[in-house]
Amino acid sequence: MADHARTDPTGTARARTARARTDPTGTARARTDPTVATPGAPDGPVAPAHVIADDAEARAVAASLADEFRTDASARDAERRLPRAELDRLSASGLLAVTVPAGHGGADVSAETLAEIFRLLATADASLAQIPQSHFAYVNVIRRQGTDEQRKFFFGELLSGARFGNAQSEAGTRHVQDIRTRLTPRPDGSYTLTGVKHYSTGALFAHWIPVLARAEDETPQVAYVPRDAPGLTVVDDWDGLGQRTTASGTVRLENVRVPADRVLPHHLTFQGPQLHGAVAQLLHAAIDTGIAGGALAEAARFVRTTSRPWFESGAERAAEDPLLIQRFGELAVRLRASEALLRDGARAVDAARADLTDDTAAEASIAVAAAKVQAAQTAVEVSGALFEVSGTRSALNSLNLHRYWRDARTHTLHDPVRWKVQHIGRYVLDNIRPPRHGLL
């Protein structure tokens, strides 16, 4: 990334002392000219990134960008127009660096604020909200497992507007934690990375791609690989029915060289009380809650402006139909419950961050699991009910109102909430703490 300057959220530069980009060993690192189209590099330059000061500013910037992104969200989805310009706006706004610790120049916002950022973005465009979800998960890996030099380097990248993608999941294995990508040591102390990843949301747009791989001793490691590294190929082959513009395609790694200081010991994350899974799941719950909120607002707008009243209601306007009023009330209660549980889960995460123990980590995981269950069910219900309350015309393909349901149905498949209900039940009955992994 370019040396970061203080800017306002619109990308207008303010003076700030530039600092040289170095790798974790302190050696100056050459950057590919961002204006040159190179294999694997994100298209076009990234504007100097604004540095957000606090939680209040982060929420205000997110609300402003959500309003901006909402305008063309339907067209982007219908045409599968990838949101490159919008992601550059997101980078320039500073939102992607809001969890950088204050000691490194970031705002270090609360989990409650981070969840609200994702909820706001998802009300406008669930694909745009999904793309940075893994970004923040892998920022947390650096916070927890990075050395001082790794933190200094990567937090500097984030403050300059860098985006992390992800290369985590693999298709065709026994289960989601059966990772077969290998990180093999070389005689010079570096590594070679080989494997194939799927559902790699954000990788196509990323500057760095965190790759989950297994070392020789089978422990999971995360290698942070530049997007333009030789041997790394990102294939835009995502063909999902929903979240069409996340570009959640394939990443191929063929003997990719990785310096030792770009590898972090992810297995250590789960050897003690941790919030890695809770934070990742909190953001998924925020996306589902945002989809539900966007769908309910769209349904209300359609009923007010377009729907006709049913003749038996005696109403002059569809919005005066007492049965429709009843149904909107029911859906609003579901949505408010999701929003409340999302806040509750976020506050449990913040409380655990302040005093991290096995008990506080377990409470945070359970609170977030409850939020995720409610949000997933509400997103699917409300986005489907949009057609129920809006009437026949709402089903016209040209209106693209089905994007809310398609996004909800696709995103809620990420991990099964039925297992979260199991963990919640065991916790309530016998005080059995949930297992330590990245999905709780």
Q: Which two tokens stand for residue 276?
A: 């890695």
Please compute the mean of the pLDDT values over residues 82-100 and round it to a whole number.
Answer: 98
pTM for the complete prediction? Answer: 0.91
**Is the per-residue pLDDT at 140 higher than 90?**
yes
Largest CA distance in the chain: 82
Q: Phi and psi at residue 211, in whole multiples of 5°?
A: -115, 125
**Phi then psi for 52, rounded to 5 degrees?**
-75, 140
pLDDT at 10: 37
pLDDT (mean) for 120-127: 98
**DSSP string spanning 166-193?**
-B---SSSSSTT----EEEE-TTS-EEE
pLDDT at 43 over 80: no
In this model, does residue 89 exceed pLDDT 70?
A: yes
Mean pLDDT of the chain: 91
Q: In the block, which residue shows the tokens 């916790």?
A: 427
In angstroms, what is the C-alpha Rg of the chain? 22
- Measured between alpha carbons, how far is 229 from 40 in angstroms, rounded to an integer? 8
Helix 55-70 and helix 84-93: axis angle, to 10°?
160
Give the CA distances from residue 227 to residues 26, 36, 196, in Å, rounded to whole numbers and listed in that order: 21, 14, 15
Cα 240 from Cα 380, distance rounded (Å): 16
Q: Give which of 139, 260, 247, 242 is closest to 188, Cα–Cα.
A: 260
What are the backbone dihedrals phi and psi of residue 236, each rounded to the nearest 5 degrees, phi first? -85, 75
- Comparison of pLDDT for 433 and 20, the residue scoring more: 433
Distance CA 224, CA 155 (A): 13
What is the mean predicted confidence (pLDDT) over 406-412?
A: 98
pLDDT score, position 308: 97
What are phi and psi for residue 311, nearest 5 degrees?
Answer: -60, -30
DSSP 310: P
Residues 6 or more apart in contact with residue 417 via CB below 8 angstroms: 372, 373, 376, 377
Q: How many CB atoms lie within 10 A of CB 250?
A: 18
Pick left, alpha or beta for residue 218 (phi over 0 → left; psi -120 to 50 → alpha; otherwise beta). Answer: left
Residue type, 347: R
User: Does the pLDDT of residue 7 top 50, yes or no?
Assistant: no
> What tokens appear for 434 in the block?
């949930």
Q: Does 139 have pLDDT greater than 70?
A: yes
Residue 20 pLDDT exceeds 60? no
Distance between CA 98 and CA 46 in Å, rounded? 17
For residue 207, give both structure tokens. Answer: 């500057």
Confidence class for position 48, pLDDT limits 50, 70, 90: confident
Label residue 26 by pLDDT band (50, 70, 90). Answer: very low
Of residues 327 and 438, more confidence is placed in: 327
Given this model, what pLDDT does residue 42 score? 65
- Can you give the pLDDT at residue 47? 54
Task: Say if CB 370 and CB 399 are below 8 A apart.
Answer: no
Residue 255 has pLDDT above 60, yes or no: yes
Q: How confident is the model at residue 73 (pLDDT cuts 50, 70, 90)?
A: very high
Amino acid in position 367: A
The fraction of the chain above a pLDDT of 90, given in percent, is 89
pLDDT band at 12 (very low <50, low <70, confident <90, very high): very low
Q: Cβ distance 229 to 255 under 8 Å? A: no
For residue 149, what are the contacts with CB-CB under 8 A and spacing of at least 6? 24, 25, 26, 261
How far apart CA 200 and CA 219 sit, in angstroms, is 21
Q: What is the pLDDT of residues 344-386, one digit of tens each?
A: 999 999 999 999 999 999 999 999 999 999 999 999 999 999 9
Listed in sequence order, the DSSP H helices in 264-305 are 276-305
DSSP 420-440: HHHHHHHHHHH-PPPP-STT-
- The predicted pLDDT at position 9 comes to 40
- Of residues 345, 341, 343, the one with CA closest to residue 361: 345
Lowest mean pLDDT among 8-17, 204-213, 266-275: 8-17
pLDDT at 29: 37
CB 139 within 8 Å of CB 164: yes
pLDDT band at 157 (very low <50, low <70, confident <90, very high): very high
Percent helix, percent strand, percent coil in the chain, to nearest 5: 50, 10, 40
In this prediction, residues 66-94 reach a mean pLDDT of: 98
Q: Using 50, 70 and 90 to split pLDDT, how confident is the model at 22?
A: very low
CB of 94 within 8 A of CB of 160? Answer: no
Q: Is the pLDDT of residue 17 over 70?
A: no
